[in-house]
Amino acid sequence: MVLETLNPMHYNITSLVQDTVPVATVPILLLMCFLFLIWNHEETSSIPGPGYCMGIGPLISHGRFLWMGVGNACNYYNKTYGDFVRVWISGEETFIISKSSSVFHVMKHWHYVSRFGSKLGLQCIGMYENGIIFNNNPAHWKEIRPFFTKALSGPGLVRMIAICVESTVDHLDKLGEVTTELGNINVLNLMRRIMLDTSNKLFLGIPLDENAIVLKIQNYFDAWQALLLKPDIFFKISWLCKKYEDAAKDLKGAMETLIEQKRQKLSTVEKLDEHMDFASQLIFAQ
């Protein structure tokens, strides 16, 4: 009698469970799909770049920068996706810009104030909150940005074409200085010297030793690339950082010497040029 009484109850419970499971499964599946869509969502999907792919994209993106180096990784992404690319560095969306019009867009608008890079790495080479490229201090950045904007527009931009042509012709006449014993031309060194000469004529106007300064700049940016994405623990080992610190101090010392020469030149000149160069404007602004 008891068994007969329990059997209907057993069937009722089994039927209830079978009816409840499908009903409970549907909202769970919907919730999982919703979470998946949120996880895989990209706010900047209109900007070309690698996919998010449930967080795998940012890991691959950051790993590529560590593996290839900043310069080679940027070249890879620009070649793959175009002149304006969105990637992830240290989990943050980062734009890679290689087009002059895009650079002008960034320089023109005030809300581009954050730059990627290790704080300790930038401090090590003296870039942290200095200059304009890796300066994450909005107040300081907005204060000095007009000087950079002015230097890259107006009369300076008009003069730039003539100075670039003149510098290129001068250096092509001195190809022997960048030619190896085997007769091969070091094109990269040639371009660096032309860039330095052009920048000096436009922004500083002080005689300098091109070979020495180019070498110092090269060592400095080798240090910059090596330290830019290093984890914080790296900087706790002082002997690992020393050679990079020395490279930064070497260039800083050379630039301080040139700036001091510029100050002395300005203090003795009788009449200032109508269009002051970049260094002169910064010196007077101080």
47 lies in the same domain as 28: no
Among 201, 194, 199, residue whose Cα is nearest residue 175: 194
Task: Answer yes or no: is pLDDT of 36 > 60.
Answer: no
Total domain count, the chain: 3
Are 208 and 279 a contacting pair, CB within 8 Å? no
Task: Answer whether residue 124 shows pLDDT above 50.
Answer: yes
> Where does the pLDDT of residue 21 fall: very low under 50, low under 70, confident under 90, or very high at 90 and above?
very low
* Pairing of β 92-97 and β 84-89: antiparallel
Q: How much is the mean pLDDT over the chain?
A: 80
pLDDT, residue 9, reads 47
Above 50 in pLDDT, residue 42?
no
Let me know whether 130 and 232 are in one domain.
Answer: yes
pLDDT of residue 56: 85
Percentage of residues of the chain with pLDDT beyond 90: 25
Do residues 66 and 7 both lie within one domain? no
How far apart are alpha carbons 112 and 97 in whole angstroms? 12
**pLDDT-derived band at 31, boundaries 50, 70, 90:** low
Q: Looking at the structure, do residues 236 and 94 belong to the same domain, yes or no?
A: no
230 and 90 within one domain: no
pLDDT band at 32 (very low <50, low <70, confident <90, very high): low
Hey, how many other C-beta atoms are within 10 angstroms of the C-beta on 92? 11
Based on the domain organization, do 3 and 144 belong to the same domain?
A: no
75 shares its domain with 160: no
> Do 35 and 48 fall within a single domain?
no
Identify whether residues 124 and 194 lie together within a single domain.
yes
pLDDT, tens only, 155-168: 777 788 889 999 99
Question: What pLDDT shows up at residue 128?
Answer: 85
102, 118, 220 from 89: Cα distances, Å = 20, 10, 22
Domain that holds residue 170: 117-285
Task: Dump pLDDT digits (tens) for 230-265.
Answer: 888 888 888 988 999 999 999 999 999 999 999 998
Question: What's the pTM value of the predicted model, to 2 decimals?
Answer: 0.71
- Considering the domain architecture, whether residues 186 and 260 belong to the same structural domain is answered as yes
Residue 177, domain CATH? 1.10.630.10
**Does the pLDDT of residue 76 top 90, yes or no?**
yes
Is the model's pLDDT at 14 over the cut of 90?
Answer: no
